């Protein structure tokens, strides 16, 4: 009887001990895209290179919508930029426009987003001014480039300059916990302009053999 009582006590202690053990909770794997960006090109013959996480350079993405009443199609522009908090030089590219009926969808669907970018991959695209990109009568997709120099002065491409082309290559289209992405590489050559208020003259820089690897986000 004594041995039975001892066994019961040991069994009770064992149950109490095991009930106090905290089991490790293993979180589910996270789905995160590997987003890496870089820019290399020549500005007036001098090589310029931005690399993500070097000299505090990072890639940023944005979009702009111009909503028109149906039956006119609304427009979405996609923006990708590489800039640093410690260096004023930056490169910014605007691409568009994705046209859609805002009366049917408040914003473009993922399928529209993917199709728009994949359909514009591998072809030469013209340069467009901002006004042309959001013009409801404009049906030709295009790009605009902005370059910020070491003094913080912004230089912007113009659609009127001849011989300018840009070509996108879509590297990947995927979704993670932060959103829907279209990862791309774009090569381009163009002029960028600014108005000098002191001389009251337009001035330009040549960007040649530019290559930006970055992404757009829906």
pLDDT, average across residues 143-164: 97
pLDDT, average across residues 104-116: 96
> Is 166 among the domain residues?
yes
> Is 10 among the domain residues?
no
pLDDT band at 27 (very low <50, low <70, confident <90, very high): very low
Answer whether 183's CB lies under 8 Å from 215's CB: yes
pLDDT, average across residues 126-143: 95
> Is 28 among the domain residues?
no
Q: What is the mean pLDDT of the chain?
A: 89
pLDDT band at 25 (very low <50, low <70, confident <90, very high): low
> Is 105 among the domain residues?
yes
DSSP 72: S
pLDDT score for 14: 44
pLDDT score for 164: 94
Number of domains, the chain: 1
> Is 13 among the domain residues?
no
Q: How far is it, in rounded angstroms, from Cα 121 to Cα 142?
A: 12
Q: How far is it, in rounded angstroms, from Cα 166 to Cα 93?
A: 11
pLDDT, average across residues 197-212: 97
Reduced to 3 states (helix: H, G, I; strand: E, B; else coil), residue 6 is: helix
Give phi and psi for 70, each to the nearest 5.
-60, 140
* 42-100 residue pLDDT tens: 999 999 999 999 999 999 999 999 999 999 999 999 999 999 999 999 999 999 999 99
Domain that holds residue 140: 35-217
Answer whether 85's CB lies under 8 Å from 56's CB: yes
Answer whether 54's CB lies under 8 Å from 81's CB: no
> Is 2 among the domain residues?
no
Q: How far is it, in rounded angstroms, from Cα 148 to Cα 139?
A: 29
> Is 179 among the domain residues?
yes
> Is 17 among the domain residues?
no
């Amino acid at each position: 009887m004594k041995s039975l009582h001892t066994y019961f006590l040991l069994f009770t202690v064992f149950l109490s001990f095991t009930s106090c053990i905290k089991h490790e909770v293993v979180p589910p794997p996270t789905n995160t895209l590997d987003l890496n960006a870089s820019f290399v090109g020549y500005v007036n013959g001098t090589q310029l290179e931005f690399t993500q996480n070097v000299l505090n350079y990072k890639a940023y993405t944005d979009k702009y919508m111009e909503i028109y009443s149906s039956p006119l199609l609304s427009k979405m522009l996609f923006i990708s930029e590489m800039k640093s908090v410690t260096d004023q030089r930056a490169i910014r590219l605007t691409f568009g426009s994705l046209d859609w009926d805002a009366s049917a969808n408040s914003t473009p669907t993922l399928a529209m987003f993917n199709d728009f970018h994949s359909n514009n991959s591998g072809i030469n695209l013209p340069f467009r001014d901002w006004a042309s990109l959001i013009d409801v009568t404009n049906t030709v997709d295009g790009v605009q480039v902005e370059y910020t120099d070491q003094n913080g002065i912004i230089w912007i491409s113009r659609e009127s300059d001849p011989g300018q082309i840009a070509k996108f290559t879509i590297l990947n289209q995927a979704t993670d916990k932060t959103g829907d992405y279209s990862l791309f590489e774009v090569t381009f050559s163009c002029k960028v302009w600014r108005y000098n208020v002191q001389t009251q003259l337009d001035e330009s820089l040549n960007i040649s053999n530019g290559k930006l690897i970055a992404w757009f986000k829906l």
